[in-house]
Amino acid sequence: MKKLISLLVSAALAVTSVFALAGCSGTKGSGNEASNFKVGAIYINSQNDTAGYTYAHHHGITEAMKKVGLDPAKDLYIVDNVPEDDEKVKQAIDQLAGNGCNIIFGISFGYLNAMDEKAKEYPDIIFSHATGYLSNDKNFNNYFGRIYQARYLAGIAAGYKSLALGNNNIGYVSAWGTEYAETCSGINAFAMGCMAVNPDANVNVYEIYTWGDQEKERQAAELLIDTYGCCVIAQHCDSAQPQIVANEKGVYGCGYNSDMTKEAPNAHLAAPVWNWDAYYATAMKAAMTNPATFMTEVGNYYEGLNAGLVDVSALSANCEPETKEAVEIAKKMMVNGEWDVFSGVKLSFSGAAGSVTVTKADADLLKDDGSVIVAAGGASVDDGVIQGSMDYYVKGVTQVNK
């Protein structure tokens, strides 16, 4: 009898924990036939997250569905907490295919092989994969954004702050360094934004070697402030810890993914943010209209400020007065395609608030070792960035740990 009770209690514990972990994983909706079009999504973390990467995508998908006239409560099928493991991803795809999804979004890099394979098995379903590089010409695309454009704008805010404080040291807590184009292009763009305002700015990068570890993020920010004397802390990592530390230590910061002014009210300047609904609405509309032409209508999607896919969060009251005008000028130049970050043309901002002006000058874009990436006046290497070939820092960036 005792054995039986202990078994039952253990089983009850195990079952409840599975449910809690998965955040009531599985599928939402009742499979109601009110609408024919069904959207499937595979998430790396929980659909119930309230911030971070999965949250940004989930929010984007639900917003986009409302925009195109779908009901997220009925037409969205989710498998969440799916690790980057081919077998698990394939199971998730089979499940969503069984639910009758017409388009399946996979948000994490490591889903690429499974999605590539399953795209052949289910030719009638559109597969759409974020941050990867595999695709085919019938039903499998990938999508990503020019987040570095938003980072340049955050860099402008940081640059003005460092100028006002008379401190050229700016810190950057980064998940990875030159291993990923995603991280180093962000660091480079941010640094170039800083230097467009404060030519002497130096960006000190601390690499934490993981996408998310609150404690390491926290300690990295402490070091950058205490040891390297940084006055602004930017970040490319999951939690808000670097901003919280900046707030505690009385310096400033630029968050990522969401407006972190809430977490760091006295420190936060502005954060580069994603508006994924811009892409999801485009993709859903195209797939609803005619799935056969999806790859010609949408294809591989790499937009930026122009499509509203990326942006910088509302500038907080901690920003210097000149920031707003300078950010608007730079943003406009990128939106209308007049200028892009990684080109042979350098912007510099000058003038007091109310009369901020920008000057464009042809200049070599230099690596940190002094070699030339783009000769003065040359075109942007932006496609190289988005497709993952950038693996260097620009001049003005120093990685403090290796």
Which residues contact other proteins by CB under 8 A? 2-3, 5-7, 9-10, 13-14, 16-21, 23, 45-46, 48-52, 54-55, 206-207, 209, 212-216, 218-220, 222-223, 225-229, 238-241, 244, 247-248, 262-263, 265, 400-402
Q: Which is nearer to other proteins, 293 or 401 (CB)?
A: 401
Query: Could you tell me which residues come within 8 angstroms of residue 268 by beta carbon, excluding any fewer than 6 positions away?
Result: 243, 246, 247, 252, 253, 254, 255, 259, 260, 261, 316, 318
Q: Which is nearer to other proteins, 20 or 352 (CB)?
A: 20
- Beta carbon of residue 354, minimum distance to other proteins (angstroms, whole number): 34
DSSP 8-state class, residue 269? -
- Beta carbon of residue 204, minimum distance to other proteins (angstroms, whole number): 10
Q: Which is nearer to other proteins, 355 or 402 (CB)?
A: 402
- Beta carbon of residue 56, minimum distance to other proteins (angstroms, whole number): 11
Q: Which is nearer to other proteins, 92 or 240 (CB)?
A: 240
- Beta carbon of residue 321, minimum distance to other proteins (angstroms, whole number): 26
- Beta carbon of residue 16, minimum distance to other proteins (angstroms, whole number): 7
Count of residues making up the chain: 402
- Beta carbon of residue 213, minimum distance to other proteins (angstroms, whole number): 7
- Beta carbon of residue 240, minimum distance to other proteins (angstroms, whole number): 6
Q: Which is nearer to other proteins, 25 or 282 (CB)?
A: 25
Query: Could you tell me which residues come within 8 angstroms of residue 134 by beta carbon, excluding any fewer than 6 positions away?
Result: 112, 113, 115, 116, 140, 142
Query: Could you tell me which residues come within 8 angstroms of residue 150 by beta carbon, excluding any fewer than 6 positions away?
Result: 272, 273, 304, 305, 310, 311, 312
Q: Rounded distance, CA 368 to CA 372, Å?
A: 9
Mind giving me the DSSP string for 2-49? HHHHHHHHHHHHHHHHHHHHHTS-S--S---TT-S--EEEE-SS-TT-
Q: Which is nearer to other proteins, 151 or 218 (CB)?
A: 218
Query: Could you tell me which residues come within 8 angstroms of residue 384 by beta carbon, excluding any fewer than 6 positions away?
Result: 181, 342, 390
Q: Which is nearer to other proteins, 49 or 303 (CB)?
A: 49
Q: Rounded distance, CA 152 to CA 131, Å?
A: 20
